[in-house]
Amino acid sequence: MSESVTFKAVLQSGGKVQVPRLVRWQYKMEPDQVLTVIVSGTEFLSSESFVGRMRRDGRLTIPKLILKVLSGEKEGNLEGCVLEITLEPGEEQSEKKDC
């Protein structure tokens, strides 16, 4: 993946979202690729980003902290909410530095 892509997805149980198969195929996404994920939605006033990887089945897991920050004061489970997801190529560490 060399460019960013935006799509809408429904939040599934366990904080997962499904990356559409067409997006995975079109941008030649691999499960071991590091991605910068930006999560926003119409119900939320802000957007949050994190670095993650896609699982083999094409799902991304959104950390609970990110979901908590997005929900703010909104009570209840966010499962079933429509989110706007932007995927960008992540920063990969080419060399590990010795400390």
Domain ranges of the chain: 5-89
Q: Is 26 exposed, middle or buried (0-12, 13-18, 19+ CB in 10 A)?
A: exposed
Exposed (0-12), middle (13-18) or buried (19+): which is 80, by Cβ within 10 Å?
Answer: exposed
Give CA–CA dist 22/40, Å, rounded: 21
Predicted pLDDT at 92: 60
Burial of 92 by CB count in 10 Å (0-12 exposed, 13-18 middle, 19+ buried)? exposed
d(CA 11, CA 86): 14
**pLDDT (tens digit per residue) in 17-31:** 999 999 999 989 888
Contact 76, 20 (CB under 8 A): no
- 3-class secondary-structure state, position 10: strand
**Total-model pTM:** 0.81
5-89 is classed in which CATH architecture?
Answer: Beta Barrel (2.40)
Q: Does the structure show a pLDDT above 60 at 16?
A: yes
